[in-house]
Structure 1
Amino acid sequence: MNKHLQHTLAGALTLGLAGTAMAAGGDVGETAKQATNWTAIILFVAFVAGTLWITKWAAAKTRSAADFYTAGGGITGFQNGLAIAGDYMSAASFLGISASVMANGYDGLIYSIGFLVGWPILTFLLAERLRNLGKFTFADVAGYRFAQTPFRAFAASGTLVVVAFYLIAQMVGAGQLIKLLFGLDYWVAVVLVGALMMIYVLFGGMTATTWVQIIKAVMLLAGVSFMGFMIMARYGFSFEALFADGVRVRTEIASNSGKSPEEAAKLGLAIMGPGGFIKDPISAISFGMALMFGTLGLPHILMRFFTVPDAKEARKSVFWATTWIGYFYILIFIIGFGAITMVLTNPEMADTAKGVIKGGAGTANMAAVLVAKSVGGDVFYGFISAVAFATILAVVAGLTLSGASAVSHDLYATVFKQGKADNAAELKVSRITTICLGIVAVLLGIVFEKQNIAFMVSLAFAVAASANFPPLLLSVLWKDCTTKGAVIGGFLGLISSVGLTILSPSVWEATLGNPAGSAWFPYTSPALFSMAIGFGGVWLFSVLDKSGQAAKERAAFPAQQVRSETGLGASGASGH
């Protein structure tokens, strides 16, 4: 059993480090297909049936492009806060971070807090301005006073790169989870997720996607609340008792693996302090910046601010999202420690985890699911399995919608049709794009089944922080920002973040198979460097731009500022 426990910890640690950001899977390899979990399937079918009914209801309300992209701006701040939380609490936030806490203890908490820190910045700097300046996409906001053709072309590129990396990761994660939990073949699971996501988005648009997110968020919050309550009840609601037991278990594992009593005690206590997660300070800062500022550039998160009626509701939605996400991550920390004391001390579960981890570190995600089995038996295990699948489904729907809006609204309506596209044509292009994105996501999900896809999600965050965030922030807050600066700086951030990630050890060595130590870029995340390149590019090329067009754009800043601060003229205007 002791060897099993070591394997379990090693696999969970791999996931904790590799499952960066919110992908459903980390280093996903071939996973063992489990016996069919009928409880999970019945609960999942019930969820799908309910959400398809919502899609039918939403389809009747989706008549215009505004209905399709933003639910007609009729979502309340509280509802939107839950939906944003639903978008953000993806499967690896639930499964990956709990496995990371099981492996790293306190470091896993630091990791999860990285996701949370971006929200106050979003609240105070951008939420209100997004709602006042934007209509359907973040390009409406960032490109408010800029030349539309070059800026929309850049914004659509940035959005589609982020969406593509995110989609692949979610689809591979979905396939592995369902194969593991429901006993279905991998390709069947991927096709199923793709088909359901296309139905939600095609027919129900943002209204259906929002309600799927809300229902999923409520189910997930209820599930983790029950798990957290049951774990704490076992320890008389004493955190001290829970942590002491976690340290005891880790000390025993170290002792049984041949460590001296002093070494074992030191290793046991290590889970209560930081330091084992990212080794060098530059990687730690860079990784933290990707998690914090990536949130402010994720197109599917930014898009949610256009679904509320006004800036006040936009602020309220960030407040509620921060509340739910913060609550969720506190519970994840408790569940991670519960995994140490329940999963690692249970021979049968340690065996299961070991068998799973053998197939690929991504499936060390089983930590939280095994805790669910410990506290609630097979029925609750089935419920959590269904929620995990529902989680991926909801996130994929939101991603697809943001990708479709980038193509139909930014490229087709604004660039190709010069803002003269009618509603019906724009909606048709959006639906065609949804089908294409769905097919591409399914095919890539199948192709990347055995690849390390963790870097794609960290790349999605790094790209969002380096390409989308600098032009968005500076165009809204800096009067001298120009089209040339925003486009060139944005593309520099995009290219550098993708390039440096490919040259980093996680891709160059781990994925492409080059020898250890041969990576051209030594750090785990490029954000510190690529964000600096993005911001520097926007500043430099804006300052150097002395054209007449640039002078007009600078002169238009006061009017933009008045609207962004007050919302005057924001109700139905397109923003130009």
Structure 2
Amino acid sequence: MKRLISVITLLALPNLSQADAIGGAVQRQPLNIQAIIMFLLFVGATLYITYWASKRTRSRGDYYTAGGRITGFQNGLAIAGDFMSAASFLGISALVYTSGYDGLIYSIGFLIGWPIILFLIAERLRNLGRYTFADVASYRLKQKPIRTLSACGSLVVVALYLIAQMVGAGKLIQLLFGLNYHVAVILVGILMVLYVLFGGMLATTWVQIIKAVLLLAGASFMALMVMKSVNFDFNVLFAEAVKVHPKGLAIMSPGGLVSDPISALSLGLALMFGTAGLPHILMRFFTVSDAKEARKSVFYATGFIGYFYILTFIIGFGAILLVSANPAFKDASGALLGGNNMAAVHLANAVGGNFFLGFISAVAFATILAVVAGLTLAGASAVSHDLYANVIKNGKATERDELKVSKITVLLLGVVAIALGILFEKQNIAFMVGLAFSIAASCNFPIIILSMYWSRLTTRGAMIGGWLGLLTAVILMILGPTIWVQILGHAKPIYPYEYPALFSMLIAFVGTWLFSVTDSSLAGQQERERFRSQFVRSQTGLGISQSANH
């Protein structure tokens, strides 16, 4: 059971800058019957939902956006389910366990992106778009180049996310069932394809809702039991934690976790603005009926996510009290079994026993399935709607052909995800989620926000700035300490900081501004004039689908 616990925590590693590699062989372990029963119940329920959704998915709108019939509350819960990861649950609570107050840096970075989406993006995104955020980015610019850029940015983010999720999921199933890693990855890939191929957005939405409810319920129970142990008194919780923690009173003071301010600022920017550029998150705003419901979606999602991060803070301090002082969770040297990332999982065992440990195991897997389903649908829509229908077919593709291409893409993405999961089994993938956020912040976010608000934006500026942001983020990450030193084995990095967002975002915005204001072409002038008319449409709620230009 302890070995099972130790590997579940590997799912936390992709989101942490100081994470180790998710790699190496995992020995087959005795079965955790409770975990397997709960896992099978979840899979059975979600496959039934997929069958139910397939009967209601008849058109392109049904497949991409669930026909716009999702309510604001349902969509907010689904967004929360898509965003609250096993990395957040296990990783942030581990940071609180080791560093106390400073562990909130990560949760604040994630959470602060949501007001940006609420106040700046959600309403106009819903009014101006139909299926993907590229609909919005190209509403007054040239369709082909902008959609190509947006689709490439989306696919890179999707690929990076899928690798991290597939490796983590494969190792979890390997432990739960004692299966070969390759078989485990294939099973996860098949489930992912089934959800998206037959159920589309409707099935994906309900998988995410179920996962969000399970994760919030499990985290709430853990936090409740922690608070019960201190008579629901936060002063007692913090005072007792200070007494038993090796750092003492220092865990209540900020400033001990971040040593490099440039990397910290880059990470913060990536988390804040990358959230507002994630394609699988932005796509969810097209599932509601109007802009009002889109705003409600972000309001509810922010509430659920904020509540969840408060719980991780309590769980982290609870682990200090109930785990650090328990010799059952320590090795011979006195260190926590499996490392500090195991703090929340050990706490689950401490407050709920083996049954609750099984529940947390099933929730961890549900988390990954919800995320990969959303990612797959976002990638498929980028290929079928943006590249095929509007770039290759120049907007003349039939609905049937577009759906056919989308489903073929889902199958291909399933094969690619399985292949990448196997290929990266023993590789250091800790940097990939951070890179995905950096690319979303440097490529997707600048194009979206400037296309909505800046009247002088032109296609030339958007293309050059967007590609500069994407390439800069990738190149700097390769030249940085994670890849250049830890993976490629060089003595010192060329780019000395861990994350590139501070510089790649700056280059993207400056490049977009410079090449737009210097664009004196007739096409550029027409695009500026088009903004004035389209801006009115964005305020009145008339979408791009009604535009003659579209």
TM-score when normalising by structure 1? 0.90
Aligned partner of 2:423 among 444, 447, 451: 447
C-alpha RMSD over aligned residues: 2.4
- Tell me, yes or no, if structure 1 residue 27 matches structure 2 residue 21: yes
The number of residue pairs the alignment matches comes to: 544
Q: 2:251 aligns to what SS in structure 1?
A: helix
AA of the residue aligned to 1:543? V
Measure, in 2, the Cα distance between the counterparts of 1:574 and 1:502.
43
Shift of 1:128: 0.1
Deviation string 1:121-168 (CA, Å, 9 cap, x unpaired) is: 110000000000000101001111111111111111100011110110
Matched, 1:405 2:392: no
Q: Is the 8 A contact 2:129 2:543 kept in 1?
A: no
1:65 to 50, 60, 67: 60
State how 1:326-405 maps to structure 2 within 5 Å: 326-351=306-331, 357=338, 365-405=341-381
Q: Which amino acid in 2 is paired with 1:108?
A: G
2:261 is the alignment partner of 1:281 = yes
Displacement of 1:403 in angstroms is: 0.5
Tell me the alpha carbon deviations over residues 407-449 of structure 1, each in whole angstroms, 9 at most, x when there is no partner: 0000000000010111111111111111111111111111111
Which amino acid in structure 2 is aligned with residue 498 of structure 1?
V
Q: Give, in whole Å, the separation in 2 of the partners of 1:575 and 1:45.
A: 49
Greater CA deviation, 500-509 or 337-346? 337-346
Label 1:465 to 1:152 Cα distance change in 2 as closer, same or farther (>3 A). Answer: same
Q: Return the match for 2:489 from 479, 494, 513.
A: 513
Q: Where do 1:305-344 residues align within 5 Å?
A: 305-344=285-324
Report the equivalent of 2:237: 242
Q: 1:235: Cα distance to partner?
A: 0.7
TM-score, normalised to structure 2, is: 0.95
Shift of 1:575: 7.4
2:48 maps to which of 46, 53, 73: 53
Q: Note the C-alpha offset of 1:278.
A: 2.1
Structure 1 outlier segments of 4+, above 4 Å: 352-356, 569-575
Could you list the runs of 5+ residues in structure 2 that have no partner in the other structure?
none
- Output the amino acid matched with 2:481: P
| Residues 211 and 22 of structure 1, relative CA distance in 2, 3 Å threshold | farther
Percent of matched pairs sharing the same residue: 64
Superposed displacement of residue 354, structure 1: 6.2
Structure 1 unmatched ranges of 5 or more = 252-266
Instruction: Report if aligned partners of 1:134, 1:574 keep a CA contact under 8 Å in 2.
Output: no
* Structure 1 residue aligned with 2:115: 120
The CA distance in 2 between the partners of 1:218 and 1:290, in whole Å, is 27
The reply on whether 1:437 has 2:405 as its aligned counterpart is no
- Give the C-alpha shift of residue 272 in structure 1: 1.5
Is contact 1:169–1:453 with CA below 8 Å preserved after alignment?
yes
CA distance change for structure 1 residues 65 and 500 in 2, over 3 Å: closer, same or farther? same
Per-residue deviation, 1:355: 8.7
Is the CA contact (8 Å cut-off) linking 1:62 and 1:71 kept in structure 2? Answer: yes
- Matching residue of 1:223: 218
Please, which of 463, 466, 471 is the counterpart of residue 490 of structure 1? Answer: 466
Distance 1:117 1:575, change over 3 A: farther
In the alignment, is the contact (CA less than 8 A) between 1:133 and 1:144 conserved in 2? yes
- Deviation track 1:335-366 (CA, whole Å, cap 9, x = no partner) reads 11122222222222223996963xxx7xx543
Structure 1 residue matching 2:307: 3-state secondary structure: helix
Deviates more, 1:171-180 or 1:293-302: 171-180
Distance 2:116 2:104 in 1: 20
The code of the aligned residue for 1:417 comes to K
| Alignment match, 1:214 | 209
Q: Deviations over 1:222-256 (max 9, x none)?
A: 111111000110011111212222222223xxxxx
1:108 to 103, 109, 123: 103
Give the secondary-structure state (helix, strand or coil) at the position aligned to 1:351. Answer: coil
- Give 1:568 deviation, angstroms: 2.5
- 1:167 and 1:329, CA in 2 relative to 1: closer, same or farther beyond 3 A? same
Q: CA deviation at 1:284?
A: 1.4
For residue 574 of structure 1, report the CA deviation from its aligned partner. Answer: 9.1
Report what 2:477 is aligned to: 501
